[in-house]
Structure 1
Amino acid sequence: MPQFPPGQTLLIDADDTLWENNVYFERAIAAFISYLNHHEYSPAEVRQTLNAVERETILAHGYGLPSFTRSLVSTFERLSPEPLDEEKRQRVVGFARSIAEQEIELLPQVEETLRDLASRHRLILMTKGDHAEQADKVRRSGLAGYFAAVEIVAEKDPAAYSSVVARHQLAPHSSWMIGNSPKSDINPALAAGLHAVFLFHKDTWILEHATLATPPEGQHLIELDSFQKLSVTF
């Protein structure tokens, strides 16, 4: 039997919650590091530089493939002993382009679980990133019909959650954020007064790692290891 009654509002993350995402970035990064083939820096040091560059790029340009592409190019320029000519630039850009060519790969039992949850609860898809890029993923996933609304925000912070709560007139005591990122899905949602469900994903992006916050009194934080277990929770 579900622990919580029908009529909950479930805000559900997209990337690495409904479908695979970061694994494709990791493959592109591995190929990029191999191509850079730097003799002075280890692969771990190259990755550390890329992580730092990505943080800078996100602040200036937001999330998404264009931002990731900028980060790869900038990292190559910083670390390569040779100048970045047009041939090398196109090769580096190609690593990012390979991600865009990936088909949407739903995680196990996602569609069946959404169908079940939508029969009892109000579902809202809430994702962050480039609006056109994320909207295209939602369209290609074939899952849009299970959601009462789709929210694509530039950043998932407490203010963004509070805005969604106000816009959809949500009752915090019966509203939940569900996702794989402590940094973006769990901690800011708890800070905004919502309950949360942390779904572990082994390939969660390193920049989304954070210690899970302790829920304030009266709020719930549930940890699950698969999407389908939501059906027995809600």
Structure 2
Amino acid sequence: MITRQQIIFDLDDTLVYCNKYFDMILDQFYETLLDWFAGEGLTTEEIRDKQIEIDVAGVHKLGFASEHFPRSLVETYHYFCDAYQRSYVQTEEEQLLLLGRSVYDQEVEPYPGMVETLESLRKAGHTLYLYTGGETAIQQRKIDQIKLSKYFDDRIFIRQHKNIQALEEILRTNRFDRSVTWMIGNSLRTDVSPALEAGIHAIYLKQEKEWVYNMVELQQKPASVMYTIKTLTEVPRVIHESIQIHQQKRTLG
């Protein structure tokens, strides 16, 4: 008999696509600045590096506030205006803000195997939770569009800052049994590292293209286990094999 688990899923780039839309907007941003600064010798790499620097610093300070990304485009524009002694133009700033905000208007697209994975875990008797970073209105729109409440009911947590403090508050308030609790997500920083620090198990859904902000060194507690996977559909197998190994150790021990 499989021991029932408490399984917490991240949303963005775990269950639904997210970063590819930011990349799409950033590609348009690079082209726009290269056009505006034509003749200055500015490169895409320089724009990318500065935007990442500004973006990551802002997320550390503000968390996943929706207006931060559009502002990072404007701040990057300001940086190069100053560097090349070019005046700020209000209409250009407004254009960049609109471009940045458009990332939140993209249609939500589930990851391959999302329904299959959630159905499999639910049918096995596990309790599913959703824990996502961002602003409530934006994240709730995604949840509603792909009808995720079918799997998570009211077990949905949305936090602007997604860190160990936020996870600990969720675990304590809802009285999770940490020995049978899992965190599944694509971010080492906001999903895996807090999970291991909190003493729960973690499954890292590794991406081909990682956001710089997500990369951190991990410190694992003895009671927790961590697995790395490449596809969402691997989750049920990994969890069930881990349960079986644990049960065998108890039997032999």
Per the normalisation by structure 2, the TM-score is: 0.84
Give the superposition deviation at 1:98. Answer: 2.7
- Of structures 1 and 2, the larger Rg is shown by 2
Structure with more relative contact order (C-alpha pairs < 8 Å, separation 6 or more):
1
TM-aligned CA distance change 1:45 to 1:106, over 3 Å: same
Unaligned runs of 5+ in 2: 240-253
Counterpart position of 2:138:
133
Q: Is residue 31 from structure 1 mapped to residue 16 from structure 2 by the alignment?
A: no
Q: Residues 181 and 198 of structure 1 are in contact (CA less than 8 Å); yes or no, is this contact kept in structure 2?
A: yes
Contact 1:11 1:175 (C-alpha < 8 Å) held by counterparts: yes
Corresponding residue SS for 2:67:
helix
1:197, distance to aligned residue in structure 2 (A): 0.5
For 1:60 and 1:223, the matched residues in 2 are separated by: 29
Aligned to 1:62: 63
1:178 aligns with 184
One-letter code aligned to 1:228: T
Q: C-alpha displacement at 1:195, in angstroms?
A: 0.8
Aligned to 2:44: 43
Pairwise CA distance, 1:231: 2.1
SS at match of 1:65: coil
- Deviation (angstroms), 1:154: 2.1
**Whole-angstrom CA distance in 2 between matches of 1:127 and 1:214:** 22
Distance 2:78 2:142 in 1: 31
Give the superposed CA RMSD: 1.8
C-alpha spacing 1:163/1:87, structure 2 compared with 1 (3 Å): same
- 1:192 lines up with 2:198 in the alignment: yes
1 CA distance for matches of 2:66 and 2:41?
28
The answer for unaligned runs of 5 or more in structure 1 is none
Match among 202, 205, 218 for residue 208 of structure 2: 202
The one-letter code matched in structure 2 to 1:232 is R
* 1:152-163 correspondence runs (5 A): 152-163=158-169
For 1:127 and 1:156, the matched residues in 2 are separated by 8
Q: Distance in 1 between matches of 2:48 and 2:196?
A: 31
TM-score w.r.t. the length of structure 1 is 0.91
1:224 aligns with 2:252: no
CA distance in 2, matches of 1:23, 1:61: 22
In structure 1, C-alpha distance between the alignment counterparts of 2:207 and 2:66, rounded to whole Å: 21
Task: Decide which of 130, 142, 149 is 1:144's aligned counterpart.
Answer: 149
Q: Corresponding residue for 2:14?
A: 17
Q: Which residue of 2 aligns with 1:8?
A: 5
Secondary structure of 2:7's counterpart equals: strand
Superposed displacement of residue 96, structure 1: 1.4
What letter is aligned with 1:23?
K
**Worse-matched range after superposition: 105-114 or 76-85:** 76-85
